[in-house]
């Protein structure tokens, strides 16, 4: 891999670790610690998650309607700073109102950072015909989840849950150096070789509504496990107070998943890969309903981690491939659909969990929604028949260069 491109990807990965892996998802392993100390209900926990995703929705809408092409770098850096501050500030107050404010603006910053970093990185990869390397970039959230899963128990043991938030903010400041130094919105110098092969076709633009609706269902369903899996594990005696281990498992599975799913999408077709991933995820979500044990939760975490970031990578790359001319706006709208589902999911799940005194019904509904979302994609398989690539200028597709 070209050294300049490697450092560029490292800057992009760091941005996603800060804004997504930590800014968005650190709430999951810290939530049961906060509940144990302050004793707020699952309903409140759901509201806190939903307000974050409401912010994520607003951020994604702003990214879709505001022309940001000329200011992507400065806006990305500003979003990363806001993400760091709102993460650290969660540990300096016990006020519900301030938590709602911090989590809302954290969501706005996360969405903007994700969309801006994605558009910058995908633009550069597409220009060098290395779209299949997007999996490395999208490993960022998984790496951030793994990092927070390791660090949160250590920090909470030393400084309680407040110290976990502040400590993650400090770690994010360190990672910001890589974003500032290497993630810049300018062309990467690289000279790939052309390798003509049979490549899967992609669906036409008229099929995009099916993808958007399916992705909205994914956001609505996956976020239930994404928000409450550690809280669910906390109730199982086998973990002996070490439920954050589940989040480490999610991160371990998520980190390499984007590389694997991106390669599978390139080889077999993005639509088929998305369907497979969503089916696997639905199974993972519902496993604790029938197998509420340490082993069941670990398997659920593995399947969840192995699919949820991969689905984002596949979906975003597919949108980029179908409509490259307007990809910045489309990625914003695509993320907004996802965020709408995320905003609704935790509130409903938290209410159901408080009403039934367990998460079984919430998990069943979430798994069913993801399964429906996967079924909506079946109409896209017919477009993925393989076609002989006869002329590079005609198809504008080529494979990864040899190192």
User: In this predicted structure, what is the pLDDT of residue 317?
Assistant: 77
8 Å CB contact between 115 and 20: no
Confidence at residue 303, expressed as pLDDT on a 0 to 100 scale: 93
Cα-based distances in Å from 364 to 131, 280, 308, 353: 36, 14, 17, 12
Domain boundaries, the chain: 3-378+387-395
Domain 3-378+387-395 classification at class level: mainly alpha
pLDDT at 385: 63
Q: Give the predicted TM-score (pTM) of the model.
A: 0.77
For 53-86, give the DSSP string. Answer: HHHHHHHHHHHHHS--GGGHHHHHHHHHHHHHHH
Contact in structure between 223 and 342 (CB atoms under 8 Å): yes
Local structure of 338: helix, strand or coil: helix
pLDDT score recorded for residue 362: 84
Report residue 161: phi and psi, to 5°: -65, -30
Centre a 10 Å sphere on the Cβ of residue 365 and count the other Cβ atoms it contains. 19
CB 167, CB 150: distance < 8 Å: no
pLDDT at 186: 66
Per-residue pLDDT tens digits of the chain, which is 403 residues long: 577 778 888 888 999 999 998 998 888 888 888 888 887 777 788 788 888 888 988 888 887 777 667 778 888 899 999 999 999 999 998 888 999 999 999 999 998 998 888 888 877 777 777 766 777 888 888 888 888 888 988 898 888 989 999 999 999 999 999 988 888 776 555 444 444 444 456 777 778 888 889 988 998 888 888 777 888 888 787 777 677 788 888 888 888 888 888 888 878 888 888 999 999 999 999 998 888 888 888 999 999 989 988 888 888 778 877 775 555 567 777 778 888 887 787 777 777 877 777 788 888 988 999 999 999 988 877 776 654 333 333 334 333 433 4
């Amino acid at each position: 891999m070209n050294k300049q491109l490697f450092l560029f990807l490292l800057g992009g990965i760091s941005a996603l670790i800060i804004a997504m892996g930590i800014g968005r998802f650190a709430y999951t392993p810290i939530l049961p610690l906060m509940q144990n100390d302050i004793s707020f209900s699952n309903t409140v926990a759901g509201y806190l998650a939903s307000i974050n995703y409401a912010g994520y929705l607003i951020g994604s809408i702003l990214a879709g309607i505001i022309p940001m092409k000329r200011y992507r770098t400065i806006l990305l850096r500003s979003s990363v700073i806001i993400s760091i501050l709102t993460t650290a500030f969660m540990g300096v107050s016990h006020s519900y109102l301030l938590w709602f404010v911090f989590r809302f603006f954290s969501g706005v910053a996360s969405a903007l950072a994700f969309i801006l970093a994605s558009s910058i990185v995908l633009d550069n990869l597409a220009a060098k015909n290395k779209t299949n390397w997007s999996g490395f970039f999208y490993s960022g959230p998984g790496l951030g989840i793994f990092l927070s899963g390791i660090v949160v128990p250590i920090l909470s043991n030393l400084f309680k849950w407040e110290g976990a938030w502040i400590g993650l903010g400090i770690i994010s400041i360190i990672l910001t150096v890589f974003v500032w130094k290497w993630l810049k919105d300018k062309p990467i110098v690289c000279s790939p070789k052309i390798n003509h092969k049979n490549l899967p076709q992609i669906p036409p633009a008229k099929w995009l509504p099916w993808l958007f609706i399916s992705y909205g269902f994914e956001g609505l369903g996956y976020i239930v496990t994404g928000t409450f899996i550690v809280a669910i594990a906390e109730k199982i005696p086998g973990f002996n107070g070490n439920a954050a281990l589940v989040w480490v498992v999610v991160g371990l599975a998520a980190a390499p998943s984007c590389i694997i799913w991106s390669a599978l999408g390139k080889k077999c077709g993005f639509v088929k890969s998305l369907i497979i991933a969503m089916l696997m995820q639905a199974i993972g979500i519902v496993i604790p309903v029938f197998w509420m044990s340490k082993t069941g939760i670990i398997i659920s975490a593995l399947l969840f981690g192995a699919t949820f970031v991969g689905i984002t990578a596949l979906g975003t790359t597919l949108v980029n491939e179908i409509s490259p001319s307007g990809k910045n706006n489309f990625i914003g709208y695509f993320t907004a659909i996802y965020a709408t589902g995320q905003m609704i999911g935790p509130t409903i799940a938290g209410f159901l969990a408080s009403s039934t005194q367990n998460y079984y019904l919430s998990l069943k509904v979430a798994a069913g929604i993801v399964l429906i979302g996967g079924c909506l994609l079946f109409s896209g398989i017919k477009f993925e028949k393989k076609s002989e690539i006869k002329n590079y200028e005609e198809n504008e597709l080529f494979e990864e260069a040899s190192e």
